[in-house]
A and B are shown apart, each in its own frame.
Chain A
Amino acid sequence: MIITLLLNILVLVVAVIFSWLPDVTTLPALLNYDIDGALVTGVGYAKTFFITFWPLGILFQGFTILMLYYVIKIILRFFIGHRAPSHGSN
């Protein structure tokens, strides 16, 4: 209860702070090229491919985790600036 309450307050505060920003529902089109649709279709093809060639699917999952890590790093850098991990490419 207590941790849930604290998390709710934290989420509420952060959501209020950024409430003025626009929501992103799709990736932007580049030169009239629908990147979002292309990615969705491409990833769908890849997921079909991974059913048979499952090792590639595991590699892809690993890549996804790595991307998630970099996203967290970028968010951390956004909030805490230079105190974020300074090593590596990000």
Chain B
Amino acid sequence: MRKLKTTGILIVGVLSLFLLPVAVRAEVLYSHTIPLADRTSLVASYLAGNDIGQGLSGYIFHSNFTGSVGSICLGLDAYTSSESIVLDVYNMTGEFTITTILKSSSGVVLGTKDWYGANQMSCFDFTDLVFASSTRYYIASNNLNYSGKDVFWYGKEYGVANDVLYVGSSDVTITNPEILDDGADNKKSKGIIEINSGPAINTTTRIIDFDPQDGEVINIGGAATGTVPFNLHAYINEDDIGNFLSIKVIFRNVDQNSLANGTCGPLDFGLMCSRYSFDLFRGIATTSGDFLFSSTTIMAKGNYRVEASLDTATTFLGVNLGFFTSLGAISDVKNHQFIVGSSTFIGNLSQTIFSQTDSFFASLPATTTSALAAQCNPLAGNFGIRECMAFLFIPDANALKNTFEQFRDGVLVKAPWGYLTRFVVIISATTTTALPDISYNFGPKGPLANVVWNISPSDMLAGGASLLASTTDHNGNTIRDVLEPLVKLIVGLALVFGIVTDLTGSHGNSFRNDRNKGMS
């Protein structure tokens, strides 16, 4: 019995090694940040301006990159001295049509008055300005063209054949950087524009944000139910194209105060139906970039928690098999809590406890060693025994990730058990392979002579999947929505039963054998 207990503890210990990343908020992420040196492939085109915007001073900027822009600096004429002006970035359609303002700068006060503006670079700061690739933007400011004065963009290197476009810390030489005609005196001058990169571009596959926001109170005007908008913004990295991807949303009525009408669904979060989930996407990612989902759900008043999750890994029963793959698994989970109409005492209590716990654990990976030292110093003003103990004994998710990666790369890949690891890597991969097409030639004789049939199993499977997805019950749930939890439960129970019987040997009647041994 002692032997069994010892080995059981050992197995639990080893299993914990695999489950620990999941337990610590599943923060095992595949992080990919583009370094600054790679973010400078920026091309700007100043087009001859008579075709568009005559009378306005501005640039057409043709972006071939996707990323945030922190500031745009321009060489300006000096008639705007001491004027607080705003630079506007307009969306464009087609080649020359200016549409709406995408973003406006937070304003700038120009420096000294200097006619012709030599060496006058004025920078405009932007917040949340994101340029898309292969897209044209019109950069202008009507403020500059005030009172009919002769105001237009000037370049500080007037007359130089090739001006310089400054991007971050690197330069890109552009050709024919011709500024738009201002329409007043037909001057055309060389322009210069500097676009500084904003914060480091995060291209990790993740959930960026979603509504309802955390802490939001949705006013339903005293009604029993209200319409709650749900909007989700996710980003898919191009490395994840071809991988299995699941974006799922789970609504929970945390106070369980909305009474049921007998059915579980979006209209109803009853005592027996306090949880409602749906898939926003499930399948193979075929494109990368930003993905926006939007829908509305009717909910009864009360306290709610909504969990949005994005998974690319093969997860089952909490075991994240993506750990074995070289890229790692992505499991991004975000929680928001909100109130529809009026709240309840129990609901508020539950939400408060969840918020405190969530923020406490969420702060751990961002904590530095110096912060840790301060928290654990009893003489320091911000000493906290709870935080200190947590920092000492709760492993940092990123550090754990590194440790497990070292274990995988340094131990698991070694022969001879490396063959088993390689096998697990292969079968737990999420990459799919298109099924091969089948051709059949009927031959030279018969009514179908020389007819060739081409059968595409991939198309057939895709058609089957869309057919299954189109079959729903009265609540809009597909066959998979209804049956998947049940199938997972059955498979999971069978798995647990199989492992337990293997450990205890109950199929071999070990207890009876041990008892017989004891009696003999």
Q: A4-B400, A65-B317 are in contact. Are A52 and B468 (CB under 8 A)?
A: yes
- Closest residue of B by beta carbon distance from A49: B461
Chain A residues near B458 (CB, 8 Å)? 48
B448: CB under 8 A from chain A?
no
Q: How far is the CA of A69 from the CA of B7 in the complex (A)?
A: 13
B430: CB under 8 A from chain A?
yes
A18: CB under 8 A from chain B?
yes
Chain A residues near B450 (CB, 8 Å)? none
Chain B residues near A45 (CB, 8 Å)? 433, 435
Contact of B484 among A58, A73, A87 (CB under 8 A): A58
* Chain A min CB distance to B124 (Å): 44
Chain B residues near A47 (CB, 8 Å)? 244, 429-433
Question: Which of B407, B426, B505 has most chain A Cβ within 10 Å?
Answer: B426
Chain B residues near A28 (CB, 8 Å)? 419
B504: CB under 8 A from chain A?
yes
* Chain A min CB distance to B100 (Å): 39
Q: How far is the CA of A61 from the CA of B15 in the complex (A)?
A: 17
Contact with A along B1-39 (1 / 0, CB 8 A): 001101110110011001000000000000000000000
Interface residues on B, range: 35 or more
Contact of B413 among A24, A48, A78 (CB under 8 A): A24
- Closest residue of A by beta carbon distance from B462: A52
Contact with B along A26-69 (1 / 0, CB 8 A): 11100000001001110111011101101100111110111111
Q: How far is the CA of A41 from the CA of B434 in the complex (A)?
A: 9
Q: A4-B403, A83-B6 are in contact. Are A67 and B427 (CB under 8 A)?
A: yes
CB pair B403–A8 under 8 Å, yes or no, is yes
* Interface window among B50-58, B127-135, B389-397: B389-397
Q: How far is the CA of A59 from the CA of B487 in the complex (A)?
A: 9
CB pair A48–B432 under 8 Å, yes or no, is yes
Contact with B along A1-30 (1 / 0, CB 8 A): 111100110011011001101111111100
Q: How far is the CA of A22 from the CA of B410 in the complex (A)?
A: 10
CB pair A26–B422 under 8 Å, yes or no, is yes
* Interface window among B88-96, B213-221, B494-502: B494-502
A-contacting residues, B229-286, CB 8 Å: 244, 283-284
Contact of A65 among B316, B391, B422 (CB under 8 A): B316
Q: A8-B403, A43-B427, A85-B11 are in contact. Are A24 and B495 (CB under 8 A)?
A: no
- Interface of chain B, helix or strand or loop or mixed? helix
CB pair B7–A76 under 8 Å, yes or no, is yes
- Closest residue of A by beta carbon distance from B319: A65
Q: How far is the CA of A36 from the CA of B425 in the complex (A)?
A: 11
Chain B residues near A49 (CB, 8 Å)? 435, 461
- Closest residue of B by beta carbon distance from A88: B502
Chain A residues near B428 (CB, 8 Å)? 64
Chain A residues near B391 (CB, 8 Å)? 1
* Chain B min CB distance to A85 (Å): 5
Q: A40-B426, A48-B432 are in contact. Are A2 and B414 (CB under 8 A)?
A: no
Chain B residues near A55 (CB, 8 Å)? 483, 487
Chain B residues near A7 (CB, 8 Å)? 395, 400, 403
Q: How far is the CA of A51 from the CA of B464 in the complex (A)?
A: 10
B508: CB under 8 A from chain A?
yes
Q: How far is the CA of A47 from the CA of B396 in the complex (A)?
A: 33
13 A-B residue pairings within 8 Å (CB atoms): A1-B391, A1-B393, A11-B407, A18-B411, A23-B414, A24-B419, A39-B427, A54-B480, A58-B488, A61-B316, A71-B421, A72-B15, A73-B11
Beyond the given pairs A39-B427, A75-B14, 12 more chain A to chain B contacts, judged by CB atoms under 8 angstroms and listed by A's residue number, are A15-B406, A15-B410, A15-B411, A24-B413, A24-B418, A36-B422, A45-B433, A48-B433, A48-B461, A64-B314, A65-B317, A65-B321
Residues of B within 8 A of A (CB): 3-4, 6-8, 10-11, 14-15, 18, 244, 283-284, 314, 316-317, 319, 321, 372, 391-396, 399-400, 403, 406-407, 410-411, 413-415, 417-424, 426-435, 458, 461-462, 464-465, 468, 480, 483-484, 487-488, 491-492, 494-495, 498-499, 501-505, 508, 510
List 4 A-B pairs, minimum CB-CB distance, nearest first. Answer: A44-B433, A87-B505, A24-B418, A15-B410
